[in-house]
């Protein structure tokens, strides 16, 4: 098992985050709402991993070494232990464009597991066990997940 570090993997993680973010838009524009939401789940996992990799250096407690087999649940647990998913939502979103006064809709720690649980529906056995049909996923549901994602990215950026 290898280790991920900000020094070695930080730039690649940031590039991967950009890829998933672009895929969300591309899939949404193509009307592929379920797959866009799956890509959003991957973007969320990558955002948390990227935060952990790049935020911790010599000036902030030392570089983290994250096992390369870490799962999303463990990343969320680490982020919660560091209390970086509890940014206030009564301020303009740190994930918005400059001058955008839109506030996040959710406290990140309250919704991050909802995105993780949805993302896990990519596993056929889980989808079957839960009786989930991805063909029923709507644009409105995607918008809900995008709001949750924005709330998480707001929180991570708030604590940078």
Report yes or no on whether pTM surpasses 0.85: yes
Q: What is the pLDDT of residues 23-40, one digit of tens each?
A: 999 999 999 999 999 999
Residue 61 has pLDDT above 90, yes or no: no
Q: What is the pLDDT of residues 80-109, one digit of tens each?
A: 999 999 999 999 998 887 778 899 999 999
Residue 60 has pLDDT above 80, yes or no: no
What sign results for the dihedral spanned by CA atoms 77, 78, 82, 84? negative
- The pLDDT of 114-141, averaged and rounded, is 94
């Amino acid at each position: 098992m290898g280790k991920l570090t900000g020094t070695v993997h930080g730039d690649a993680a940031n590039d991967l985050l950009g890829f998933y973010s672009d895929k969300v838009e591309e899939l949404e524009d193509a009307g592929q709402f379920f797959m866009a939401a799956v890509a959003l789940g991957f973007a969320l996992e990558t955002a948390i991993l990227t935060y952990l990799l790049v935020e911790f250096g010599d000036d902030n407690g030392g570089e983290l070494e994250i096992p390369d087999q870490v799962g999303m649940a463990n990343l969320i647990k680490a982020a919660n232990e560091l209390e970086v998913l509890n940014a206030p939502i009564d301020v303009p979103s740190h994930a918005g464009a400059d001058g955008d006064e839109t506030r996040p809709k959710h406290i990140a720690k309250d919704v991050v597991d909802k995105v993780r649980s949805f993302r896990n529906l990519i596993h056929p056995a889980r989808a079957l066990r839960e009786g989930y049909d991805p063909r029923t996923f709507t644009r409105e549901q995607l918008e809900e997940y995008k709001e949750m994602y924005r709330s998480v990215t707001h929180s991570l950026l708030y604590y940078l």
